[in-house]
Amino acid sequence: MTKHAQRRYAALDGLRGIAALMVFAIHVWIYQLPNTVQLRRDSWEKTLLFEGRVAFVMFFVLSGYLLYRAFARAALRGGEHVNVRSYLVRRAARIVPAYYVAILGTLALLAIAGDVPGRRLVDGGELPLFFVFGQNYSPDTLLKLNAATWTLSVEVAFYLLLPVVGWLALRLGAGSARRQALLLGGLAAAGLAWNSIDYAAGWGPVASHSAPSFLPYFACGMLVALLVESRRARGVPSLGRAASAGLVAGAAALLVVNGFWHATFAHDAIAMEVLADSAAAIAFAAVIASLVLGTGTGVTWMGIRPLAWMGEITYGFYLWHIPLLVCARGLGLLPGGVLSGFMVLPVAIGFGAASWYWIERPFMERAAVLPRADAEGSAVSAARSGRSHSRSPAHSGALPASSSARAAASSQ
C-alpha cells in the first residue's frame, strides 16, 4: 500500500474516531439527566450537541463503502466472485467476540451501578436476543441493556444482506457500472419506501430501528465504492484539490442544512420520517469520496495519529462507553455537569484499546488467512482479463496498516 493510500485510510479512521467521540459527548449529556429517555433541547447548546447524533449515520455510510468494494469490483470484472463464506467468517471474527465480552461486561457493570436513571435492564428470557443481534426486533429489548448496540443489530443485518446484493450485481449488472448504480439506487428507494409504509401504518420504533430503514445510508457508501472501482477500472485520474475541497465544502453545507431542518421542523412530518438523515448520509459519502477519489483537501488532518488510533479502537470504545457511564453514575462518580462526564473518557478509551489489542485484532488476524475470492470465479476472471490479482492493493497478502484498510480487505 502506498503512503498516499495509507494517509487516506488513516483519515477514514480519524473520521470514525471523531464520530465515536461525538457519540460519547451526546451520551455524557443524556446519561446525567433525571430522565434519559425524554430529552429536552431547551437551549442552542443542547440542540447543537444533540444534532451531533448524525455520527451514527457516518458509521453506516462508511460500512457501505468499505464492505461493498469487493462486490462492486467482482461485478465490474464480470467473473471473479467474492468468497462469501470467508467474508462472513471475517465479519463474525471482527465483531462477535468483542461484542459478547462487552455484553457480559455490561451485565456486570449495570449490577454494580444499582438503580439509577439510564440502567435499562431486561428480563432473563430476553437476553438471547442480544446474543443473536436481535434486540432491535422486540419492544422489550430495543434500546435496553446497552442502548448503543442497536446499531450493531442494523450492521449485522446489512452484513447478511450484502452477499445477496453482490449476487444481484453479478447477475444484473455484470460489467456495467450504470446497472450496478441503478441496483443501489433501488436499494435506497426500498429503504425510503419502508419508511413511508412505516409512517402510514404507524408501525412504531421497532420498524424504524430495523435494517430496512437505514438502507439509504448504506447505499450512499456503496455508491462511493462503485465509483471508486469504476474509475480504477477505467484508469481515471484522481480528483484535483479544487474538486476535493468542493466535496468537503458541499458536505459541510449539507450537514448544517440537515441539522437546521431537524432542529426547527416538526419531527412527525412525513418528509422527516421518510428522509430522516439522508442529507447527512450524502454529506458523509462526499467526505469519503474526497478522501478516496481525490486529495481529501480540508479533511486530511483527520489522519493525524491520535485520531486515527481512536478510529482503530472505536468499536470497543463504542461498546463499553454507555455501561461505564451508567456505572460511574451509580457509584456517585458523576456529580453533575457535562465536564464531569468526561472523567469516564480515559477509562472508556482504555477499555476500547484493550478490546482492540486483546480481542478484535487477534481474531481478525486469524481470519485474514482465509481466501478472499472464490477460486472458480477467480479462474474465470483471470481467463477473461489475463490480469493478476497482485495489481490490486486490497488483494495483497500483507495486512494493511489501518483498521479501515483492514475492513476494506476483510470484505473480500
HEC-encoded secondary structure of the chain: CCHHHHHHHHHHHHHHHHHHHHHHHHHHHHCCCCCCCCCCCCCHHHHHHHHHHHHHHHHHHHHHHHHHHHHHHHHHHCCCCECHHHHHHHHHHHHHHHHHHHHHHHHHHHHHHCCCCCCCCCCHHHHHHHHCCCHHHCCCCCCCCCHHHHHHHHHHHHHHHHHHHHHHHHHHHCCCHHHHHHHHHHHHHHHHHHHHHHHHHCCCHHHHCCHHHHHHHHHHHHHHHHHHHHHHHHCCCCCCHHHHHHHHHHHHHHHHHHHHHHHHCCCCCHHHHHHCCHHHHHHHHHHHHHHHHCCCCCCHHHHCHHHHHHHHCHHHHHHHHHHHHHHHHHCCCCCCCHHHHCCCHHHHHHHHHHHHHHHHHHHHHHHCCCCCECHHHHHHHHHHHCCCHHHCHHHCCCCCCCHHHHHHHHCC
Q: What's the pLDDT tens digit per position in 187-211?
A: 999 999 999 999 999 999 999 999 9
Query: Is 99 in contact with 148 (CB distance < 8 Å)?
Result: no
The one-digit pLDDT tens for each residue of the chain (412 residues) are: 667 667 778 999 999 999 999 999 999 988 888 888 777 777 777 788 889 999 999 999 999 999 999 999 999 987 678 999 999 999 999 999 999 999 999 999 999 999 998 999 999 999 999 999 999 999 999 999 999 999 999 999 999 999 999 999 999 988 999 999 999 999 999 999 999 999 999 999 999 999 999 999 999 999 999 999 999 999 999 899 999 999 999 999 999 999 999 988 887 889 999 999 999 999 999 999 999 998 888 888 899 999 999 999 999 999 999 999 999 999 988 776 667 777 899 999 999 999 999 999 999 999 998 887 775 554 444 444 444 333 333 332 233 345 665 555 544 4
261-301 tens-digit pLDDT: 998 888 788 999 999 999 999 999 999 999 999 888 888 88
Q: Which residues pair with residue 82 across a beta bridge? A: 373
Paired with 373 in beta bridges are 82
Dist. CA 213–CA 11, nearest whole Å: 28
Nearest CA to 285 out of 63, 9, 52 is that of 63
Give the model's pLDDT for residue 317. Answer: 98
Kindly report the pTM of this predicted structure: 0.91
If you count them, how many residues does the chain have?
Answer: 412
Other residues' Cβ atoms within 10 Å of the Cβ of residue 300: 18
Determine contact, residues 82/412, Cβ cutoff 8 Å: yes
Rounded distance between C-alpha atoms, residue 65 and residue 368, angstroms:
19
Q: What is the pLDDT of residue 407?
A: 57
Alpha carbon distance 289, 128 (integer Å): 39
Per domain, the residue ranges of the chain are 3-410
- Per-residue model confidence as pLDDT tens digits over 131-152: 999 999 999 999 999 999 999 9
